[in-house]
């Protein structure tokens, strides 16, 4: 094994990715599989999870697809059991599930607010609680939450989402402190703009695109594959002294004003 | 310097007594088991629980890593986790056999492999076997096969790693009436079915040379001796700790 392979080695480690049927996390799940990890592909939409799992298996990897509503504690408990039945252990958790909505503030309904909060902050909280307990008891594990360039200062139009991401960042720091002596690291990545089709349609007018790219020193959008390197680093022992960090992968968005 | 021991299944039954004995003898004890217990938590700060499923090689590697990170050493690895279950040959199916072999036999393989990867001169392994590892008995073929296997691992590895001055031994208890064993004795094909306490009492009177059957603490003290430098010339042995049930 070469020095670099050993440094970032996650071969045969078991990673659980929630929201892994989606735009970003499906790429992440496949990236981890390509790095040799065994992947539990969890999503609310089972058929999407299954499609990603079959893609991984077609690539020669190992994967299991499971349905999960991340806002439901029992479903986390059941998922942990099923992953342990299939793979025996859990080494890495990526809390990737979460939704967004573009509703103007005065028109935001309680349902929309709660929908985004449930999937983002409650889902991340429950993932950390259920899988984190297993990891703390095992004295070993790496959790990676998905923060955002909106976690602070916030992004216009994404009111609920920004609140939720600020909460995820805060929880990440608090759990990093809590579990620092228990062998469990908790970090977050802070993606900038890696728009999905839905984002393009619902959020990004021509004017907004100008504003976004004008505030992104690299003057372009990111692609989901560009998150994978940071995630594998955070998951691996190469990041053994890194906890409570929010790693920006944003083309420079967070480093400048004008 | 305090020594470090890892004990699988050290959260209950004989394992908990082994944990107590090592903890009272000033060892830093890492207990690998699927669940923490209140008894374990009561043993103080030199006893650490690390969630471990002995059927998983990576869980053994994990507890070794945790012990080395926290204490910088590994002196003894005690493969204690295991369970007993009686079934006649016609009722043994694949699931039953896999479970007993994965836990009692393969669990010991993975424990030895993970421990030997880091052990230095003077370190030792103690496997908790059984006199069922030396003689067969009715409706007990799966368990006996697993324990004969444990004794085989013990003898083979003692030859394999002896030149590094690492010792590998086993202790072979007979009936220690823990709650786990009593539960197994209630199985429909156990020799004690319906009458566990009477069976144990009868076994003690008719089979043991001494007036008593061994207690968990006595198994623990045998392990402590085998782990100590006082046993520096003993390796590859599977020592009956059985109150004279099976003299050899």
Q: Look at B53 and A134 and tell me if their CB atoms are within 8 Å.
A: no
Taking CA–CA distances from A182, the nearest residue in chain B reads B66
Percent of chain B with pLDDT over 90: 96
The verdict on residue A256 lying in a domain is no
In Å, how far is A139's CA from the nearest CA of chain B? 6
Q: What is the CATH number of the domain that holds A143?
A: 3.40.50.720
The verdict on residue A257 lying in a domain is no
The verdict on residue A254 lying in a domain is no
The rounded distance, in Å, linking the Cα atoms of B172 and A156 is 70
Q: Is A134 on the interface with B (CB under 8 A)?
A: yes
The rounded distance, in Å, linking the Cα atoms of B89 and A31 is 47
In Å, how far is B239's CA from the nearest CA of chain A? 32
Residue B161 has pLDDT above 80, yes or no: yes
The verdict on residue A258 lying in a domain is no
Q: Look at B55 and A88 and tell me if their CB atoms are within 8 Å.
A: yes
Domain edges within chain B: 4-174+215-241
Backbone dihedral region for residue B26 (phi beyond 0: left; psi -120 to 50: alpha; all else: beta): left
Task: Cis check for the bond before B32: say yes or no (omega within 30 of 0).
Answer: no
Cβ neighbours of residue B104 closer than 8 Å, sequence gap 6 or more: B82, B83, B143, B146, B147, B149, B150
pLDDT band at A102; cut points 50, 70, 90: confident
Q: Is A138 on the interface with B (CB under 8 A)?
A: yes
Angle at A180 (CA atoms; ends A147, B58), nearest 5 degrees: 95
CATH class of the region B4-174+215-241: alpha beta
pLDDT tens digit sequence for A142-158:
999 999 999 999 999 99
- Residue tagged 């992968």 (tokens): A249
| B143 catalytic per annotation | yes
Residue A258 has pLDDT above 80, yes or no: no
- Residue tagged 């619902």 (tokens): A202
Query: What DSSP designation does A116 have?
Result: H
Report which of A186, A193, A178 is spatially closest to residue A226, judged by C-alpha positions: A193
Q: Look at A89 and B53 and tell me if their CB atoms are within 8 Å.
A: yes
Taking CA–CA distances from B57, the nearest residue in chain A reads A88
Q: How far is CA B178 from CA B12, B43, B84, B101, in A?
A: 9, 19, 11, 21
The verdict on residue A97 lying in a domain is yes
Q: Look at A89 and B36 and tell me if their CB atoms are within 8 Å.
A: no
The rounded distance, in Å, linking the Cα atoms of A162 and A146 is 12
Q: Is A81 on the interface with B (CB under 8 A)?
A: no
The rounded distance, in Å, linking the Cα atoms of B109 and B55 is 10
In Å, how far is B27's CA from the nearest CA of chain A? 20
A84, A137, A183: residue with CB nearest B49: A137
Report which of A78, A83, A23, A75 is spatially closest to residue A51, judged by C-alpha positions: A23
pLDDT band at A13; cut points 50, 70, 90: very high
Q: Look at B62 and A84 and tell me if their CB atoms are within 8 Å.
A: no
Residue of higher predicted confidence among B203 and B194: B203
Q: CB-side exposure of A134: number of CA atoms within 13 Å?
A: 25
β-bridge pairing B124-128 and B76-79: parallel
Residue A257 has pLDDT above 90, yes or no: no
Domain with A187 in it: 3-249
Per-residue pLDDT at A113: 97
Count of the separate structural domains present in chain A: 1
Report the residue of B37, B49, B58 to disrupt the A interface, i.e. the one with the largest count of A CBs within 10 Å: B58
Q: Is A240 on the interface with B (CB under 8 A)?
A: no
Q: Look at B53 and A88 and tell me if their CB atoms are within 8 Å.
A: yes
The verdict on residue A217 lying in a domain is yes
pLDDT tens digit sequence for A192-240:
999 988 788 877 889 999 999 999 999 999 999 999 999 999 999 999 9
Per-residue pLDDT at B138: 96
Q: What is the pTM of this model?
A: 0.89
The total number of residues shown for chain A amounts to 258
User: Could you give the 3-state DSSP secondary structure of residue B176?
Assistant: coil
Alpha helices in chain B (DSSP H): 13-24, 38-41, 57-71, 94-100, 107-116, 141-161, 179-185, 196-207, 216-227
């Amino acid at each position: 094994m070469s020095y670099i392979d050993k440094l970032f080695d996650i071969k045969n480690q078991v990673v659980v990715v929630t929201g892994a049927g989606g735009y970003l996390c499906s790429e992440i799940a496949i990236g981890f599989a390509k790095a040799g990890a065994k992947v539990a592909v969890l999503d609310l939409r089972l058929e999407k999870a299954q499609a990603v799992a079959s893609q991984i298996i077609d690539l020669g990897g190992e994967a299991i697809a499971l349905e999960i509503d991340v806002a439901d504690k029992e479903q986390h408990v059941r998922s942990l059991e099923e992953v342990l039945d299939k793979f025996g252990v859990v080494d890495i958790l990526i809390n990737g599930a979460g939704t967004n909505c573009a509703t103007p503030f005065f028109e935001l309904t309680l349902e929309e607010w709660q929908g985004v909060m449930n999937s983002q902050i409650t889902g991340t909280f429950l993932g950390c609680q259920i899988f984190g307990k297993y990891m703390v008891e095992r004295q070993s594990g790496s959790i990676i939450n998905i923060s955002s360039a909106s976690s602070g200062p916030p992004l216009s139009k994404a009111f609920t989402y920004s609140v939720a991401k600020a909460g995820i960042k805060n929880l990440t720091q608090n759990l990093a402190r809590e579990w620092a002596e228990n062998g469990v690291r908790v970090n977050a990545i802070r993606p900038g703009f890696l728009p999905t089709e839905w984002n393009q349609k619902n959020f990004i007018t021509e004017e907004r695109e100008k504003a976004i790219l004008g505030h992104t020193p690299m003057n372009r959008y990111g692609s989901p594959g560009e998150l994978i390197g940071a995630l594998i680093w955070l998951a691996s022992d190469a990041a053994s002294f890194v906890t409570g960090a929010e790693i920006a992968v944003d083309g420079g968005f967070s480093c400048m004003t004008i | 310097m305090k020594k470090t021991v890892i004990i699988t299944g050290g959260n209950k039954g004989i394992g908990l007594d082994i944990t107590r004995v090592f903890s009272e003898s000033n060892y830093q004890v890492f207990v690998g088991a699927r669940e923490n217990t209140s008894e374990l938590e009561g043993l103080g700060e030199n006893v650490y629980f690390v969630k471990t499923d002995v059927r998983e090689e990576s869980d053994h590697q994990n507890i070794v890593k945790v012990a080395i990170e926290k204490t910088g050493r590994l002196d003894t690895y005690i493969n204690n986790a295991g369970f007993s279950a009686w079934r006649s040959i016609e009722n043994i199916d694949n699931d039953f056999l896999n479970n007993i072999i994965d836990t009692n036999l393969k669990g010991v393989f993975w424990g030895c492999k993970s421990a030997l990867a880091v052990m230095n001169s003077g370190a030792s392994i103690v496997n908790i076997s059984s006199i069922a590892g030396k003689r067969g008995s009715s409706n007990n073929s799966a368990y006996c096969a697993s324990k004969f296997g444990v004794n085989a691992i013990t003898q083979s590895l003692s030859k394999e790693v002896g030149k590094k001055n690492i010792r590998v031994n086993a202790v072979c208890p007979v009936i220690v009436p823990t709650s786990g064993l009593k539960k197994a004795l209630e199985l429909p094909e156990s020799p004690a079915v319906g009458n566990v306490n009477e069976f144990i009492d009868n076994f003690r009177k008719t089979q043991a040379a001494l007036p008593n059957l061994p207690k968990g603490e006595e198994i623990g003290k045998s392990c402590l001796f085998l782990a100590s430098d006082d046993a520096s010339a003993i390796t590859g042995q599977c020592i009956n700790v059985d109150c004279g049930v099976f003299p050899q």
